[in-house]
Chains A and B, each alone.
Chain A
Amino acid sequence: MPTYFKINKERQLVISTFSGVFTLEDGFAHQEKLLKDPNFVPTFSQLIDCTQITQIAMGIDDIRRLAQRSIFSNDARRSILVHGDVAFGFARTFIAIRESLGETGIRVFHELDEALFWLLDHHTP
């Protein structure tokens, strides 16, 4: 599937975009690419744009495997942006596993402005 990310160092923000059919391998590959980018910092925030995904070719066991490892800090702010109830459900499942592993700043949203507000709000004094 097409994957893409952009790192905005000034805003300390990673924007990850997925489209098409999303697989476990896509998730792992994205993590590896980010890790290799010299501009990546684990404490940055992340917007995970899943609105162009047409199918999630994963089961809960795959979600569990993907969630076992995070390259972001547990207190980094992360927003998962989705369209539709299925993607929302998978995202909630992913978040539940991540929270059980200590991550505290990850949420799922249907609306871009809400997703961005979650990411940027904690930078506001």
Chain B
Amino acid sequence: MPQSNRCSALSIRSTQENVISNLSSVRILVVDDFPDWQRLVMEWLREHTHLQVIGVASDGLEAVLKAQQLHPDLILLDIGLPTLNGIEAARRIRELSPNAKILFLSQESDRAVSGAAINAGGHGYVVKSEAFNDLFPAIEAVMLGKTFVSPALANLASEFE
């Protein structure tokens, strides 16, 4: 890789809060029915060598099946999925693969939806429009056993409280 490209690669990671470098390797299942979004997320994850995408699923039932088969450390889970929505998929995954952390990655910025997602067993919730800034801090928080909700969503919620 040319020197200039290496600099830019580092700059992306630093912009995305390079705070998870102390974590050991994280095996990730990406679940989303939109191929372009899958591709973007995997491109971002690829910038971090210790984050390993071990599988991809495009619907809720496939997510449950792959979680059971692959035993990922972390599942990036959309909500609006065919066959089984992400919230119901999370409930099943929690029963079948209880050690997997679930981080919702959804376009929904409704607090009721994010609350339902966390109650269904999610460890974190990132709004897709904020994913560039929030995804990697969220992964770090969730892998350290904390709960993460996109600050934009938290701020939005506080405006209505």
Contact across chains for B11 and A86 when beta carbons are under 8 A apart? no
Residues of B within 8 A of A93 (CB): 12, 43-44, 132
Binds A, one of B1-9, B19-27, B61-69: B1-9
A92 in contact (CB, < 8 A): yes
What's the minimum C-beta distance from A88 to chain B, rounded to whole angstroms? Answer: 6
A85 in contact (CB, < 8 A): yes
Nearest opposing residue in chain A for B10, CB measure: A100
Contact across chains for B47 and A86 when beta carbons are under 8 A apart? no
| Complex-state Cα separation, A22 to B144, whole angstroms | 39
Nearest opposing residue in chain A for B107, CB measure: A85
Contact across chains for A90 and B40 when beta carbons are under 8 A apart? yes
Interface size of A by CB at 8 A reads: 22
What's the minimum C-beta distance from A92 to chain B, rounded to whole angstroms? Answer: 4
A56 in contact (CB, < 8 A): yes
Residues of A within 8 A of B133 (CB): 92
If the complex has contacts A96-B11, A97-B11, are A60 and B46 also in contact, measured as CB distance less than 8 A? yes
Task: Sort chain B's interface into a size bin.
Answer: 20 to 34
Nearest opposing residue in chain B for A54, CB measure: B36
Contact across chains for B40 and A86 when beta carbons are under 8 A apart? yes
B14, B43, B107: the one contacting A60 at CB < 8 Å is: B43
If the complex has contacts A86-B34, A89-B40, A90-B40, are A60 and B47 also in contact, measured as CB distance less than 8 A? yes
Kindly identify, within residues 13 to 54 of chain B, every residue whose CB is under 8 Å from any CB belonging to chain A. 14-16, 34, 36-37, 39-40, 43-44, 46-47
If the complex has contacts A59-B43, A90-B40, A100-B15, are A85 and B8 also in contact, measured as CB distance less than 8 A? no
Contact across chains for B36 and A56 when beta carbons are under 8 A apart? yes
Nearest opposing residue in chain B for A108, CB measure: B132
A39 in contact (CB, < 8 A): no
Kindly identify, within residues 100 to 125 of chain A, every residue whose CB is under 8 Å from any CB belonging to chain B. 100-101, 110
Residues of B within 8 A of A67 (CB): 8
A to B CB contacts below 8 Å, 16 in the list: A60-B46, A60-B47, A61-B5, A64-B8, A64-B12, A68-B8, A85-B37, A86-B36, A89-B128, A93-B12, A93-B132, A96-B11, A96-B132, A100-B7, A101-B11, A110-B129
Name A residues whose Cβ lies closer than 8 Å to a Cβ of B.
Answer: 55-56, 59-61, 64-65, 67-68, 85-86, 88-90, 92-93, 96-97, 99-101, 110
